[in-house]
Amino acid sequence: MTATIIDGKAFALGLRERVAGEVARFTAAIGRKPGLAVVLVGDDPASAVYVRSKHKATVAAGMESFEHRLPADTSQDVLLALVDRLNADASVDGILVQLPLPPQIDERAVITRIDPDKDVDGFHPVNAGRLASGLAGFVPCTPLGCLMLLKDQRADLAGLDAVVVGRSNIVGKPMAALLLKESCTVTIAHSKTHDLSSVVRRADIVVAAVGRPQMIKGDWIKPGALVIDVGINRTEDGLVGDVDFDSAASVAGAITPVPGGVGPMTIACLMHNTLVSAARAEGFALDEDAL
């Protein structure tokens, strides 16, 4: 048996095209473009690459891109004051402060200062609470992208046994909440889980987000399972995921590669969340079928 390779790059491209179509409709009706503000503090090379790619994607979708680049020695008060201005700016629908931040700044203080209705990253505790309690809010972009890929493979996930390996606030916990909302039976596993391989082996859906290269082996995978690999680990052999792809692909029903699986979905879902934020702010009805 050979797994279907889930082409996240192609799916993300399609999503970005659909978002651009809805952005054009929004702009024609409302008279302004949705706007995304991205704040970069310091000159971390990886962060700078992410910010450039977000800017390109925002412009390509027909949205306004507002970039704010601050020096590495920026104080927390100065950054919070900028967040306050962006919260009050009606042309800004989404605010994203690129992490990590320099050591003199408390990340939690910054994240919680962002208006939850502009928190398109979905990191604000209010949005975490909305997700946990089934209310409309913003979901972190990576787990949202994972769910889209899963539902593209199997529209109805109800009743399936899902194991999420990893318990971060950015991926693991929101991923589990999303799967629970789809009526899956959900287990969150992690580094302290006893007999992790046995826990994973019973799953119809495996989402690996643990940050350890190729930790999950093919003999951990239930035949026919859907495997979503969130891991991006740099090794001497190049980028690899948290799943041992070659052995898992011989057992799974479908699997995401690394790179080219979940990665492209993150920015596509950021565009999606920014459009949704603009539509909510203006009372504009999006074509849900298009998204």
Enumerate the domain spans of the chain.
30-115, 141-263
121 included as an active-site residue: yes
Indicate yes or no: pTM above 0.85. yes
Q: Please check whether the two domains, 30-115 and 141-263, share a CATH topology.
A: yes
pLDDT along the chain (291 residues), means of 10: 92 97 98 98 90 96 97 97 98 96 97 98 97 94 98 97 96 97 97 95 97 96 98 89 96 97 96 98 92 83
Which of 94, 130, 124, 119 has its CA nearest to residue 108? 124
Fold of the domain built from segment(s) 30-115:
Rossmann fold (3.40.50)
Q: 3-state DSSP helix/strand/coil percent for the chain, to nearest 5?
A: 45, 15, 40
State the pLDDT at residue 1.
Answer: 61
The structure tokens 């209010």 sit at: 126
How high is the pLDDT of residue 46?
87
Q: Which of 54, 118, 173, 222 is catalytic?
A: 54
Tokens 């503000």 — which residue?
Answer: 37
Catalytic residue among 117, 121, 242, 244: 121
What is the pLDDT at residue 227?
Answer: 98
- Cα separation, 202 vs 196, whole angstroms: 11
214 catalytic residue (yes or no):
no
Which one of the listed residues 33, 93, 98, 119 is annotated catalytic?
A: 98
Residues in the chain: 291
In CATH, the architecture of 141-263 is 3-Layer(aba) Sandwich (3.40)
CB-count burial class (<10 Å; 0-12, 13-18, 19+) for 115:
middle
Distance CA 229, CA 206 (A): 8
* 44, two tokens: 């971390």
Q: Is 192 a catalytic residue?
A: no
C-alpha to C-alpha distance for 216 and 208, rounded to whole angstroms: 8
